[in-house]
Structure 1
């Protein structure tokens, strides 16, 4: 369309006349914040004005003035362009358009106009997606209504017929806009129209609905669009220009015009609206993808509203549709992900037998399973979880804490899952303190995210560093919570320490872990600030860090948190120079702490640092195994209350066996065959009657999908595996080959390292840090057995999605391994983990 613009909307050429033009000019000049009523009235008065101009121009029959785009929707902001189409059939007086347009130009109004026949309009729409989108909002203003009605009918028919080709093009336009303008909900100076989550996306959602292929979840969407439109009106009135960018210098005045407390409150409202729109877009585009994929495999179907949205629990985003556990027509492939959670149509949904009302951990379990498999949680599932799940007990059950850590440990895959939970209020239900940082802007040029998104982004960065620390769970949780003090008076690190002590206790962390999290939050800026502002060669500089962290493990965690925080802040917050300064200071502090904190060896020469004295049951089993020469085991498989009083299904396995090679891998393989995930494990030597060493294994395991195996069958398979009649490795390989390939997420590679000799005087300590997976401990055990070493003691921990294991190894004579031999064993284990 040709365009004539003039930013000075001064009203009609003759404002003294008492007519539609004068009425429109008075409305434009009137004070007020704008709003839907004003936009509707401005559109109506503009209609009257153009209708009068059309009548004065002497237009013949078969001609119509049609409003398109925002004007067609009746959403004229004070400085909006007028998007107008002069539609005609047959020949047209060439002077008619000028008689119509010149009074508009003379008034100073921005005009985007075109003159076309219906056939020409249809051809332009076919070639230009933006023109077609504008015509979807076509509205009759003046002249022959039949010609407008015919065009609208044709345009909608064409849109629905070509939706399979046009919608992917529309999606690509949205992606390009997002790349150019960013995400509205995180920008300090957002473009209210073009940024992701802006008003253009609302137009796209309406176009999708017009295709009859899918519709957006409507709850909150209209209110979000209305809020952005109101802010845009106020911005136009404040600046006197047709601008869409909410600049810093205009925010206070816009907030005042809208009656909002301050600019920060205004931005939070804008961000909340943008997130609602962006999430609705994500949900809707996934629905479109499913429909188009279904069409490509089954052939074209008649054009109809395939999935009408009928409310919070109906239609494509409802409980009876995909993703809610309902049975769809035909065969639907559903792959188990976790207890109560399956994959369907590329999303995590609830299993048929899931009972959200009786399972308060289910939201976190579903979220963790989705993120670890590179999926998101379906809209209907999140809605159902929000509606039916009870709040978590306080303190949290152990599983809830582990599932949160697993979710955070998924890295980038955590983001869309987190957004889905937050859209339905599940995050603030889990973490009530989150509300204070949610959508909170950071008026700092270094920061590129709001406070809440920065916290999640820090956890994403930390997920890549979990192999560097002995407590990846504490690293991830500290990353998520380190800036919780922002928005409170005073230093946010000091306020955050107080908040996090309470949050960590409610999450069920033990007192020592609570203290570590509090230290990390209080001092999350200490390393970088000290390294860049103090003399690194001054002993007082190192002493300040040592005093702050007190222990080597905390220093290790603080170093990783420092880097994750900086990387999540923005490019200006981290550099090689800063990294080198931080590393130098951390190394000096580590050396200072290492001198004061020698490694404690849980071996025979230092039993106090190892496990507790054997229980009566453990001693009984060890004596039985020593006397009979065979395995003795005790198996408890039942629902037992955890430390919070919440019942959780689990298995406690005690096994005593006369020392033999390959024991660890064999038992771990049997548990993997029965789909039992190892949560913790210990292995130690006893000699209860002086007849030779007995290996005592103490395991805590959990059923992968909630169904515990029959105790008798598990006992039988353990005995068969130990006497060699059950080939565990072959059975696992056969099962893995028959199972469908599981999609997953990129994870940091496993780390297999030999600890310094000071770690133990009587054994070589092999440390393994890796992403948890079925049969992982079995593979480690087989590699150690194949290397011909003895496992004297083992300490196995699963922390969220990561394992942190330590194996105390000796040679056949019970001596520590040589450096060369230890390196060969580490290489063998590393190769087994791939």
Structure 2
């Protein structure tokens, strides 16, 4: 393949054959495409002599060549004459352009490359992945060595700059795992974050969690490959109209299965970023003048039984015995959320590995700590996602597996099902003073959509799931019935208030019969608002809130044995 690749036509034909091989995909195809392209470019460069090297950088340097990827190339030279270097560049660039392949190219001496890297973080990151293709290998090796040395020497200054760049990118492109049309490269949890994690590891200051990371990265690359092949375009944006084709190319059931796979990969990458950047911050703080001694003597502040705070994270006390304490994971999670601090990943991994399963039914303490976690406000979101990443959530609630990373194609929804549920619990926490049983409100908020992903109406399916789940959690029969009713009827108030005639006594009576008592009614009222606010800005309004409140007032009157009254009757009584 390489021997015949000097001709653009031969290379193009070989490339088409490779991309058309159905038996070869994923990493083997990307490696084969990189090898094929390397051979062709090496034949174009020919025998350029000493002091000239052709170098792949960026994604091409990493061997992540997708069907429509740019070729990121650096023609490195030791200071040859302008005409000679220009002729070499023409010999390389024009055949690439003639084939319509996008090219990101530069011609530099090692000194010029280092100065460009010093001025541009992206250039610096690209050179960290520099890979020799052809020419003088010593020139490439020397540049790589210097770039790595400069990166490590300047890590205390460069890593904060990289982190701010990742934050700005996330602000512009959003969170990949919640977008219906995600950018696989730029969104948070995407391919650029995988590159950033590699750069952090190269600094030797910190490293990313390895479990699942390579597989998540490979998943996003596989999806991008399929996207390029099915659309024929160099794009990283997975738009709705292309999702069915991409799913079919990857032999997935449907577009929802595709999105869920993408979201799972992005979740792994996002969590790895959270953990890694927290470790970077810890290391950089420890390296500040005067802080090393303070760090060695830093106190471990008690937070709960078996749980302490150390260096800005929630960790296990030295006396903790997770193998003897099944409630310790919940106690640690609740304490972390209440303190607004992240749980340490090593602590979570130890808990996941050592703590025994919760007894069935759960002991009272476990149920109370669970409710405390849910009621801790915004901090509960990050803690919950860390617990989920380490497998603790599904250890407590196996039913969570069906809703994790499940997409919601209704554009009103801004979150996946799992994130929507924890966001609803956070919103419900603002209404706990409105209800007699705050614990039931918070648990109902977390579980109201647990039936999604199951056959039939998700409210009906969810009711059956919650009956079993609530009993396992130790709720008595009466509380279990309330939770089941809340899940079964969590859409009742909003749908009735906005679609039915509230002046019709039969409408109000139907709602009253379904709800059953005023305690469940007030719980549903708070849940309805929390659910809508957690859905997105278009799901709740003053108008909708007023209609729901009116329906609740009328239904409450019926449940208390009073006549709801018509609008005309209320007007006459007011006069």
Looking at structure 2, the residues matched to 542 and 239 of structure 1 have their Cα atoms a distance apart, in angstroms, of: 53
After superposition, what is the alpha-carbon deviation per residue over 1:136-194, rounded to whole angstroms, capped at 9, x for unaligned? 00011111111111111111111111111111111111111111221111222211111
Match of 2:25 in 1: 34
Match of 1:548 in 2: 514
Alignment of 1:593-632 (within 5 A): 593-595=559-561
Deviation at 1:91, TM superposition (A): 2.8
Match of 1:516 in 2: 482
Deviation at 1:369, TM superposition (A): 0.2
Query: Could you say if the C-alpha distance between residues 582 and 13 of structure 1 is closer, same or farther in structure 2, counting changes exceeding 3 Å?
Result: farther
Match of 1:175 in 2: 167
Deviation at 1:89, TM superposition (A): 1.1
Match among 39, 46, 49 for residue 48 of structure 1 = 39
Match among 194, 207, 228 for residue 202 of structure 1 = 194
Alignment of 1:582-601 (within 5 A): 582-595=548-561
Match of 1:267 in 2: 259
Larger Rg: 1
After superposition, what is the alpha-carbon deviation per residue over 1:760-787, rounded to whole angstroms, capped at 9, x for unaligned? xxxxxxxxxxxxxxxxxxxxxxxxxxxx
Looking at structure 2, the residues matched to 555 and 461 of structure 1 have their Cα atoms a distance apart, in angstroms, of: 18
Match of 1:457 in 2: 423
Match among 322, 327, 331 for residue 361 of structure 1 = 327
Match among 55, 62, 66 for residue 66 of structure 1 = 55
Query: Could you say if the C-alpha distance between residues 585 and 33 of structure 1 is closer, same or farther in structure 2, counting changes exceeding 3 Å?
Result: farther
Match among 249, 256, 274 for residue 241 of structure 2 = 249
Alignment of 1:170-569 (within 5 A): 170-298=162-290, 330-569=296-535
Matched, 1:161 2:127: no
Match of 2:571 in 1: none
SS class of match (2:450): coil
Deviation at 1:591, TM superposition (A): 2.6
Deviation at 1:387, TM superposition (A): 0.5
Query: Could you say if the C-alpha distance between residues 33 and 275 of structure 1 is closer, same or farther in structure 2, counting changes exceeding 3 Å?
Result: farther
User: Alpha carbon RMSD of aligned pairs, Å?
Assistant: 1.9
SS class of match (2:296): coil
Q: Which structure's residues are more often strand, by fraction?
A: 1
Looking at structure 1, the residues matched to 185 and 292 of structure 2 have their Cα atoms a distance apart, in angstroms, of: 35
Looking at structure 1, the residues matched to 543 and 158 of structure 2 have their Cα atoms a distance apart, in angstroms, of: 49
SS class of match (1:296): coil
CA contact (8 A) 1:482 1:524 kept: yes
Deviation at 1:96, TM superposition (A): 2.2
Deviation at 1:298, TM superposition (A): 3.8
Deviation at 1:34, TM superposition (A): 2.7
Deviation at 1:438, TM superposition (A): 1.3
Deviation at 1:249, TM superposition (A): 1.9
CA contact (8 A) 1:33 1:258 kept: no
After superposition, what is the alpha-carbon deviation per residue over 1:564-619, rounded to whole angstroms, capped at 9, x for unaligned? 0011111111111111111111122223333469xxxxxxxxxxxxxxxxxxxxxx
Query: Could you say if the C-alpha distance between residues 526 and 299 of structure 1 is closer, same or farther in structure 2, counting changes exceeding 3 Å?
Result: closer
Deviation at 1:299, TM superposition (A): 7.2
After superposition, what is the alpha-carbon deviation per residue over 1:693-751, rounded to whole angstroms, capped at 9, x for unaligned? xxxxxxxxxxxxxxxxxxxxxxxxxxxxxxxxxxxxxxxxxxxxxxxxxxxxxxxxxxx
CA contact (8 A) 1:458 1:568 kept: yes
Query: Could you say if the C-alpha distance between residues 230 and 86 of structure 1 is closer, same or farther in structure 2, counting changes exceeding 3 Å?
Result: same
After superposition, what is the alpha-carbon deviation per residue over 1:611-633, rounded to whole angstroms, capped at 9, x for unaligned? xxxxxxxxxxxxxxxxxxxxxxx
Looking at structure 2, the residues matched to 194 and 289 of structure 1 have their Cα atoms a distance apart, in angstroms, of: 23
Match among 14, 20, 24 for residue 15 of structure 2 = 24
SS class of match (2:74): strand
Count of paired positions = 557
Looking at structure 1, the residues matched to 496 and 118 of structure 2 have their Cα atoms a distance apart, in angstroms, of: 62
Looking at structure 1, the residues matched to 500 and 291 of structure 2 have their Cα atoms a distance apart, in angstroms, of: 69
Looking at structure 2, the residues matched to 176 and 329 of structure 1 have their Cα atoms a distance apart, in angstroms, of: 31
Match of 1:145 in 2: 137
Looking at structure 2, the residues matched to 117 and 196 of structure 1 have their Cα atoms a distance apart, in angstroms, of: 34
Looking at structure 2, the residues matched to 44 and 333 of structure 1 have their Cα atoms a distance apart, in angstroms, of: 55
Matched, 1:77 2:44: no
Deviation at 1:128, TM superposition (A): 0.4
Unaligned runs of 5+ in 1: 1-10, 302-327, 598-834
SS class of match (1:484): coil
Unaligned runs of 5+ in 2: 564-575
Range with greater deviation from structure 2 (520-529 or 585-594): 585-594
Looking at structure 2, the residues matched to 85 and 15 of structure 1 have their Cα atoms a distance apart, in angstroms, of: 20
Deviation at 1:30, TM superposition (A): 4.0
After superposition, what is the alpha-carbon deviation per residue over 1:226-255, rounded to whole angstroms, capped at 9, x for unaligned? 111111111111111111111222222212
CA contact (8 A) 2:338 2:379 kept: yes
Looking at structure 1, the residues matched to 79 and 400 of structure 2 have their Cα atoms a distance apart, in angstroms, of: 64
Looking at structure 1, the residues matched to 553 and 537 of structure 2 have their Cα atoms a distance apart, in angstroms, of: 24
Deviation at 1:329, TM superposition (A): 8.2
Looking at structure 2, the residues matched to 345 and 126 of structure 1 have their Cα atoms a distance apart, in angstroms, of: 33
Looking at structure 1, the residues matched to 138 and 398 of structure 2 have their Cα atoms a distance apart, in angstroms, of: 57
SS class of match (1:95): helix
CA contact (8 A) 1:12 1:106 kept: no
After superposition, what is the alpha-carbon deviation per residue over 1:629-683, rounded to whole angstroms, capped at 9, x for unaligned? xxxxxxxxxxxxxxxxxxxxxxxxxxxxxxxxxxxxxxxxxxxxxxxxxxxxxxx
